[in-house]
Structure 1
Amino acid sequence: MFKVLLVEDEEMIRKGLRYTFDWLAAGCIVIGEAENGEAGLEQIRALKPDIVIVDVNMPLMNGISMIEQSVQEAVCSYIILSGYDEFGLARQAIRLGVTEYLVKPLEQEQLLGALERAKQQVELKKKYDALIQAASESEEEIYASLMKLPAGSSPYVSKMIEYVQEHYADKISINDLVDRLGISAAYLNRKFKSETTYTFNDFLNRYRIQRAMDKLKSGEGKIYTIASDVGFRDYKYFIAIFKKYANCTPGQYQEQFGVRETELE
């Protein structure tokens, strides 16, 4: 069952969604509700839902802001609801990797279709998160993992990930793949984002930081050499990106494993 969180300030709509839609038939279960963005953010942190259905206009914090602040809190897909059709909001939603932008009042079939796409997206995101965590595995194991991508995964995305695994220590960008794959950078970016919910650069940074963590745990050299070994030529930028994903400095991370680094960060 996929866990669903409802974030909607209008109680009638929120309760209507919860009690009139056949969630079990859709392979889902509603695990919580919130009446504004701030409460929704707290629920995401506490409940770790798979799918969040959120109204765009709410008191205290709107849906877009809530999504922006919650993307690092849980591996989930988002379905946005709105009482009106506005292109600007839809564009923001797409930029944030939102699965669907639905205009109220909702049709049952509309929501069912959106849920199916959200379920597929969250499965893909969990797969790619697991892949990042498996960065210390052998190349054969990683390749085997790639071959198990869910049905519908693009071969382009698989090749992009393979490229990251092989060249993460070098200076690389998505433009390196344009000639290799014969596809424009804009298309590759869209494809990668739609399938993984990450931008190419975000995935690259996450992968590099995971490899850095492996080296930091084992005490393989100074922090600045590890930064260079995993593809970061700018040491200060490495520290900033490491803090972003690990919520601590490299030195603090090492201390958790009994490794001490005397170098200042």
Structure 2
Amino acid sequence: MLRILIVEDEEIIRRGLISVIDWAGMGCRVVGDAPDGLAGLELLRAEHPDVVLTDIRMPRMDGIGMAERARAEGILPQLVFLTSYAEFDYAKKAIALQAADYLLKPVDEAELAALMRRIAADGTAQEAIPQTVEGVDWQRYFSDGTLNPYVRHAMERIRTNYRERLSIEGLAETAGVSASYLSRKFKEATGQTFLEFLTRMRLQSAVAQLRSGKYRVYEVAEENGFGDYKNFCTVFKKYMKCSPRTFLQETGGRLPQEDE
């Protein structure tokens, strides 16, 4: 059963979504609701829902700001924006956040039910994905006061610059420590080598882009720091145990027409 968080500043709309929609009939359960992005962020941290259904424009913190904060902390679930025709330009910003979809207000229950079924099916398919591409819990690492400062620096670079060419040697030189020292401390803190951790981050983004159906495989390779198409396919197959095309077929995604 999908666990749903609703974030909407208009109380009438929020209460209507909670009480009028037949969530149980969709295989869903509302685990919380909030009137703005700040309160929504707190509930995201506490409840870890499967889906957040959020308005875009809200006081204190809007839906996009909330989603960006949640993504930075590694706690952003499937994201569905509530929008109106007048706000559609705002919804375009959600492309970078890899939103599952947009729903126009007032919400059509049949459309919502179809979306929840798709998200549930996506979740089932995602369970087969190896641990290598599960979301990185950045908050767990960065809230650890004992985290080695050089490891913290390396992780910050991975989080913000994973699309760029990064190496343990380059980061160690910048930090003024040896590569062997940084490698050892990084493995102690994460249980993974620097390259494994970086690849996991890149694959996490690559999988989401592939499944959106908006990118060709070579574009995903370039966008996420894998370099050329061939290298990306090799790395993808090593970790995912299948090619990008096979992955899409098995998870119900599709490539742009030019790649078919």
- 1:233 corresponding residue in structure 2: 167
Read off the aligned partner of 1:102 and give its amino acid letter. Answer: L
CA distances 1:151-204 after superposition (whole Å, capped 9, x unpaired):
xxxxxxxxxxxxxxxxxxxxxxxxxxxxxxxxxxxxxxxxxxxxxxx9xxx9xx
1:95 CA displacement: 2.0
Q: Are 1:91 and 2:25 an aligned pair? A: no
Q: Are 1:78 and 2:54 an aligned pair? A: no
Distance 1:237 1:87, change over 3 A: farther
Q: Which blocks of at least 5 consecutive residues in structure 1 are unaligned?
A: 134-197, 207-222, 224-230, 241-248, 258-265
Once the two structures are superposed, the pairs formed by residues 206-245 of structure 1 within 5 Å of their partners are: 232-233=166-167, 235-237=169-171
1:6 CA displacement: 0.5
Read off the aligned partner of 1:84 and give its amino acid letter. Answer: Y
Distance (whole Å) between structure 1 residues aligned to residue 6 and residue 189 of structure 2: 40
Distance 1:85 1:32, change over 3 A: same
Determine what percentage of the aligned residue pairs are the same residue: 32
Distance 1:91 1:68, change over 3 A: same
- 1:3 corresponding residue in structure 2: 3
Distance 1:255 1:26, change over 3 A: closer
CA distances 1:29-49 after superposition (whole Å, capped 9, x unpaired):
000011100110110011000
Partner of 2:85, secondary structure, is: coil
Q: Which blocks of at least 5 consecutive residues in structure 2 are unaligned?
A: 139-153, 155-164, 175-182, 192-260
Provide the TM-score with structure 1 as the length reference. Answer: 0.50
1:85 CA displacement: 4.4
- 2:27 corresponding residue in structure 1: 27
Provide the TM-score with structure 2 as the length reference. Answer: 0.51
CA distances 1:196-218 after superposition (whole Å, capped 9, x unpaired):
xx9xxx9xxx9xxxxxxxxxxxx
1:96 CA displacement: 0.9
Read off the aligned partner of 1:96 and give its amino acid letter. Answer: L
Once the two structures are superposed, the pairs formed by residues 50-65 of structure 1 within 5 Å of their partners are: 50-65=50-65
- 2:242 corresponding residue in structure 1: none
Distance (whole Å) between structure 2 residues aligned to residue 4 and residue 59 of structure 1: 21
Partner of 1:25, secondary structure, is: helix
Partner of 1:128, secondary structure, is: coil
- 1:67 corresponding residue in structure 2: 67
Q: Are 1:254 and 2:255 an aligned pair? A: no
Distance (whole Å) between structure 2 residues aligned to residue 256 and residue 107 of structure 1: 44
- 2:49 corresponding residue in structure 1: 49
Distance 1:38 1:252, change over 3 A: same
